[in-house]
Structure formats: C-alpha cells, structure tokens
Structure 1
Amino acid sequence: MTGLWTELGKIENNFLKPLHIGLNMSKAHYEAEIKNSQQNSQVASMCKGVCSVTVGGEEIPTMPPEMQLKVLHSALFTFDLIESVLARVEELIEIKSKSTSEENVGIK
C-alpha cells in the first residue's frame, strides 16, 4: 500500500495542474522565441564585439542563429514529450477512478 491513491487530489492540484500550466506557458514562450528568431539573430549580429558572456574568466562564444533555432526546437520537442507522459498519467488516473467508482457502485 503506497497511499498514492488516497493523496491523488493533492497530487492533481499541487503538481499535475501547475505542470500543465507551466508546460503551456513554456511552449508559448519558446514558440514566440522561434517566431522572433529572425529579429534576435539581427540583434545578435549587432552585439558582436559589444556583448559577451564570461564564465570562470573565459569568454564564451556567441551561439550562431541556426544553433539557437535548433535549441528552441529541441526544447519544444522536450515539452511535447513531457506533455505526452502527463497525458498518460492522467489516463491512468481516470482508469483507476472509473474502476474505483464501479467497485463502489457494485458494493451498494
């Protein structure tokens, strides 16, 4: 007995719902970033020599716009994977809830 099903309401409200919201917000943000990638690449080219990032005393080279676009698409793909796992978890919860309610109806 894990107690998981008795805490399901808390899990849904405190984890699954906020996860849905966060995924939707993140996907919208990254989709907007992809749309703005053209503008961002122009800004990045204007920043050459002016903007830099230094870590541990070493300057990190700027990421080419093509690579930035790949990273953004990779993030969207990752969000899609997380969303598919979340959908499956919700399916399992629904199946368990239906079977529990059917058992309760059968008892009466």
Structure 2
Amino acid sequence: MSTIKEISELLGISAPTIRFYEKEGMVEIPRNERGIRQFDERSIDRLKAIVHYRRVGMPLEDIQKILAEFHNHALSSDLLKKTQAQLEAQIAALQETHAYLVKKIEIHQQLA
C-alpha cells in the first residue's frame, strides 16, 4: 500500500495538493476501514493525468471539465487544443529567448 507521502514524491506534487484534488472531486481515492487512503491504479492514473495537464498550464476549471465529462470527446478536444496552442506559444517564446542567449554568449566569448 502506498502512502500519500509516497504518491506525492512519485508524482512530484505535495500531499496537500493531492488532498485538494480529492476534495474538489477530481480524483477518488479509496480508503480502508480506518479511513486511510489506499491509492489504487485508477486513482494514481487520474493524478498523473492531472499533473500532466497542470504542467502544461491547463487551468483547473478545464481539467475538471475534462475529468467530469470524460466521454465528451468534442469538449476534451477543444480544451486540449486551446492548451496546446498556449503551450506552443510559450515554446516559441522560449526558443526566441534561447536564440538571443546563444547570440549573446557568442558575442561575449569573442570579446573575452
């Protein structure tokens, strides 16, 4: 049995964050007769999905919609496409900044 601490370390999120997702109804985590969380494969997979969505900056509201209406593929597709466009814009901005830094490094190395 995995503890909330072990799962939080596995996923790279805090235990309070897991509790928050559970409280918000984004993930159901089974409990034993003493009320202790017993993470199963389904709850861990759900948390992994939430972590991936959050990592790319998807708003909690959109994640909740996707999870609540899992079989509404048109909705999920629209929300994922919106997040993809935002992520691609961030990547482009980072690539531009990276190119700027590379050029500055070259200039400073030539002058050194």
Normalised TM-score (structure 2): 0.41
Between structure 1 and structure 2, the one with the greater Rg is: 1
Normalised TM-score (structure 1): 0.42
More RCO (CA 8 Å, sep 6+): 1
